[in-house]
Structure 1
């Protein structure tokens, strides 16, 4: 079978022959280093993707994707909801209210955001019903001023279902200060746990009770909350809906309240990826050292090839092939092992926890009580491209040095 001279000799130099076992060992270590670098990048980025997915599903599954409101409270929220549901990206539209205040219990206080919800409709736009650890959303009966609090708040105040606490909200008044506190007694009817900071900063009450606290008329609500198929389209979709409703309406979406968190997570992934790329760069540097040693060892062979008619371009190609083989094999091994590890790391960590009897990611300490992993094809392709590119670039200087070898000088003492 016909093979170009450069490929034949370059592949032959990669294998161990008689007196160059040490150089082949260095080639093997370069492959292993590159494989470990690629494996580490794939696994770490997959784990970060898993954490991002968990945080996105838990936090953005609780907060509104977008809200629709007007200058005045809505008298007929169903009209607005029906208009929003006409958009193909909207999967749910429910009444919504939002208050900010302080929870007080036996002298202890903490700031809290109160969301007014309709328990019968909430499952259309929120995952809260799947994360109740005590009580049930249906216990939020209008007029009884029940409240569902987060697990962190319940633990901080040592509250259980049936306990009573006080909600303090600011109210504009004609008093000298302009604002006076208004207090409302609430009864804990449920506790939720989504494994995020919302467990300590969010509480839910019935939207009718929220309207009463806000001194709205019967049937009025503050706004409408919508859920979307693709939450990243929230700004565009909400603007389109408001444009159809008219100028009296306004909108807000999750990018204003939670966007900075996910931007920080995205930047963190990028920076960690660049740091891990240094491992691949070190392995590529080992390829440079390996090829320089090979060039020094093969000076006589290079000179003989030159005297037989090999051009400097062919000599350069020989060592570029050798370095590329090392880089390609190392990248393929790392990609296969990294993909297998990323797909199974969650099960392996869980098995390790069962075998050791200790929980590595305790739910009392971490928001996510297991190690999530999500392998993305784009990340794998990007990592492979970076590793192969660095491996190829690492071959250029040693190959150029080999091409500059002068036959007479190399054979003078042979």
Structure 2
């Protein structure tokens, strides 16, 4: 059976026992280092993907994917919602009126964004109805001036359902200061918790109460909130819908309010990936040291091969095969361990918490209580490819040195 000489000899050199055990140790550590680097990179990027998924589902489940807002208050929001829903990218639509102001309670103040909603329609476009921990969104009744606040706001003010607080809304006026505060007394009818920063900066009132605060006619709203199939198509879809409605309408989407958060998360994932790639690079460079010592140790064998007819290209290929096999085995082991750990990272963290008695993530301090993970096979392929390429490149210089060994010089003292 035909066997390429470099592949045959390179494979034999890789698994053969060496007289110099230090070389075997360095070879083993190179393989282990490469496996650990690949495993760590797959696991960490999977955890980063999990964090991004959690933040997307929680933050963008609460914040409007997109909104069609009128230059003037809308008299018939259902007509605008029907025309927006005709777009195949839109899953649902609901009315919304947004106000910004301050909550005041027993001398404490907090900036807040209050959304006027229709409790019967809000469940179609938001996840808030599934995250009510006290009271109910249906307790928002027109004219009652009820409010549903976030868990962080309730904890900061020590609020429970039935408590009353003051909502301060700035209003432009002809007074010397230019702005006159208007105060509205609100009753807490519900508390929600989605596990994100919005728990401390978002609140909900009835759409009719929001219109009254804005001194609009009953039934008028600021715009229509949209839920989309593809979050990342929100800018294009919302602009197309607003353009189709004609003059007097403008588009808004989540990228204007939350875009910096997700851009920062994307940059963080990129930088962590580059830092972890350095671990793989260090392990790959160890292959250079291993092969240089192997070349020095096998100088006599190389010379004998050259004297019986082996060409410099075959010697070059032999040591490139040996180094590449170390890289392939290390990358495969790291890939398998990384995938297994990425799928079970929450279980592993739970086991560590039980053994040590310490909680890695506590709900009192963090927005999550477990470590999320989302394995993306494109990341696995990219990481394994990077490991294999760097391992292959690391073999070029030692293999070239082996191909330049002169038989006469190597056998001079033999």
Find the counterpart in structure 2 of residue 132 from structure 1.
132
After the TM superposition, which residues 181-200 of structure 1 pair with which residues of structure 2 at under 5 Å, given as runs?
A: 181-200=181-200
- 1:153-209 deviation line (CA, Å, top 9, x unaligned): 111111111000000000112222221000000000111111111111111111111
Find the counterpart in structure 2 of residue 287 from structure 1.
287
Give the whole-Å Cα distance in 2 for the aligned partners of 1:359 and 1:146. Answer: 37
| Alpha-carbon spacing, 1:67–1:39, altered in 2? closer, same or farther (3 Å) | same
Q: CA deviation at 1:406?
A: 0.7
Find the counterpart in structure 1 of residue 39 from structure 2.
39
Find the counterpart in structure 2 of residue 344 from structure 1.
344
- 1:200-237 deviation line (CA, Å, top 9, x unaligned): 11111111111110111011111000010111000011
After the TM superposition, which residues 202-217 of structure 1 pair with which residues of structure 2 at under 5 Å, given as runs?
A: 202-217=202-217
After the TM superposition, which residues 354-393 of structure 1 pair with which residues of structure 2 at under 5 Å, given as runs?
A: 354=354, 356-393=356-393
Indicate conservation of the 8 Å contact 2:66/2:238, yes or no: yes
Give the whole-Å Cα distance in 2 for the aligned partners of 1:356 and 1:120. Answer: 47
- 1:327-357 deviation line (CA, Å, top 9, x unaligned): 0000000000000000011122234434555
Find the counterpart in structure 1 of residue 53 from structure 2.
53
Find the counterpart in structure 1 of residue 334 from structure 2.
334
SS of equivalent to 1:368: coil
Q: CA deviation at 1:358?
A: 4.1
Give the whole-Å Cα distance in 2 for the aligned partners of 1:408 and 1:361. Answer: 66
Q: Which moved more, 1:302-311 or 1:10-19?
A: 10-19
Give the whole-Å Cα distance in 1 for the aligned partners of 2:348 and 2:25. Answer: 32
After the TM superposition, which residues 99-114 of structure 1 pair with which residues of structure 2 at under 5 Å, given as runs?
A: 99-114=99-114
Q: Which moved more, 1:170-179 or 1:108-117?
A: 170-179
Give the whole-Å Cα distance in 2 for the aligned partners of 1:288 and 1:206. Answer: 69
Q: Which moved more, 1:285-294 or 1:357-366?
A: 357-366
SS of equivalent to 2:344: helix
Give the whole-Å Cα distance in 2 for the aligned partners of 1:222 and 1:62. Answer: 18
- 1:246-297 deviation line (CA, Å, top 9, x unaligned): 1221011001110011000000000000000111011001100000000000
Q: Tell me how many residue pairs correspond in the alignment.
A: 414
Q: CA deviation at 1:18?
A: 5.1
After the TM superposition, which residues 6-21 of structure 1 pair with which residues of structure 2 at under 5 Å, given as runs?
A: 6-17=6-17, 19-21=19-21
SS of equivalent to 2:134: strand
Give the whole-Å Cα distance in 1 for the aligned partners of 2:37 and 2:18. Answer: 30
SS of equivalent to 1:401: helix
CA RMSD of aligned residues (A): 1.1
| Alpha-carbon spacing, 1:354–1:133, altered in 2? closer, same or farther (3 Å) | farther
Find the counterpart in structure 2 of residue 246 from structure 1.
246
Give the whole-Å Cα distance in 2 for the aligned partners of 1:348 and 1:31. Answer: 24
Find the counterpart in structure 2 of residue 173 from structure 1.
173
Q: CA deviation at 1:244?
A: 1.2
TM-score, normalised to structure 2, is: 0.98
Give the whole-Å Cα distance in 2 for the aligned partners of 1:54 and 1:161. Answer: 28
Find the counterpart in structure 2 of residue 258 from structure 1.
258
Give the whole-Å Cα distance in 1 for the aligned partners of 2:369 and 2:270. Answer: 24
Give the whole-Å Cα distance in 1 for the aligned partners of 2:217 and 2:123. Answer: 26
1:92 equivalent to 2:92? Answer: yes
SS of equivalent to 1:209: helix
Unpaired segments of 5 or more residues in structure 1?
none
| Alpha-carbon spacing, 1:357–1:135, altered in 2? closer, same or farther (3 Å) | farther
SS of equivalent to 2:285: helix
Give the whole-Å Cα distance in 2 for the aligned partners of 1:294 and 1:14. Answer: 10
Give the whole-Å Cα distance in 2 for the aligned partners of 1:255 and 1:189. Answer: 31
Give the whole-Å Cα distance in 1 for the aligned partners of 2:130 and 2:326. Answer: 51
Give the whole-Å Cα distance in 1 for the aligned partners of 2:99 and 2:260. Answer: 22
Find the counterpart in structure 2 of residue 162 from structure 1.
162
| Alpha-carbon spacing, 1:18–1:90, altered in 2? closer, same or farther (3 Å) | closer
TM-score, normalised to structure 1, is: 0.98
Indicate conservation of the 8 Å contact 2:18/2:24, yes or no: no
Q: CA deviation at 1:310?
A: 1.0
Indicate conservation of the 8 Å contact 1:165/1:187, yes or no: yes
Give the whole-Å Cα distance in 2 for the aligned partners of 1:357 and 1:285. Answer: 39
